[in-house]
Amino acid sequence: MRTTPDQHTLSRTVILGVAASDSHAVANHLISYSLRGLGFDVVNLGTCTSVEEFAQACEEHPHAEAVVIGSLNGHVHEDLRGLDRAKQSGRITCPVVVGGNLSVGSHKDSSSHDRLYAAGVDHILSEPAELPALLDALRASRLRPVAAGLAAS
C-alpha cells in the first residue's frame, strides 16, 4: 500500500510579522503578497508583533515552515528579547528568519548578526528576494525524512 504525505507535509505556511517596536508596514505587505503569489499560506501578524504573538501563532500553526520577522527601525535586538526562551520551551519550533535594518545607526558590523543568532534567530537575510530560496531549502530539509520513510514503505 502506497502512503502519501499528509496535508501538513504539503502545506507551505509561513508566519510573517514586523518586530514589536516597528510600525513599518509596506515591506511586510509586499513580502506577504509575493509569498502568496508563490503559493504560500501567509499568516501575516502585521506590525508591532511581540515574541509572544509569534509564539501564539506557532502554536496555532504547528506545521509552519518558518517565522519571518522584519525590522526597519533597527531595534530588532530589543524586540526579540525572549525569543530564545520561546524556542527552548517549544513554543516556537520552526526556523526564525530575520531581515531588514537590523541595527541603529549608519555603522554596521557583524556583531549585530552574532547577537541575533545568540538570541535564537536561525537565518538572517540581507534582501527580501532571498526568502523564497531559503524557504525552499528549509522545506527540502524538512521533507527529506518524509521521503525516506515513503521509500522504505
Whether 29 is a known active-site residue: answer no
Whether the pTM exceeds 0.85: the reply is yes
Average pLDDT of span 100-124: 87
Q: How many CB atoms lie within 10 A of CB 52?
A: 12
Q: Which of 8, 24, 107, 136 is catalytic?
A: 24
- pLDDT of the residue at 111: 85
Respond yes or no: is residue 22 known to be catalytic: yes
pLDDT at 4 over 60: no
Tell me whether residue 150 is exposed, middle or buried, using C-beta atoms within 10 angstroms of its C-beta: 0 to 12, 13 to 18, 19 or more: middle
Higher pLDDT, 119 or 148: 119
Q: Of 22, 77, 79, 123, which is the active-site residue?
A: 22
Span of 25-34, 55-64, 93-102, 106-115 with lowest mean pLDDT: 106-115
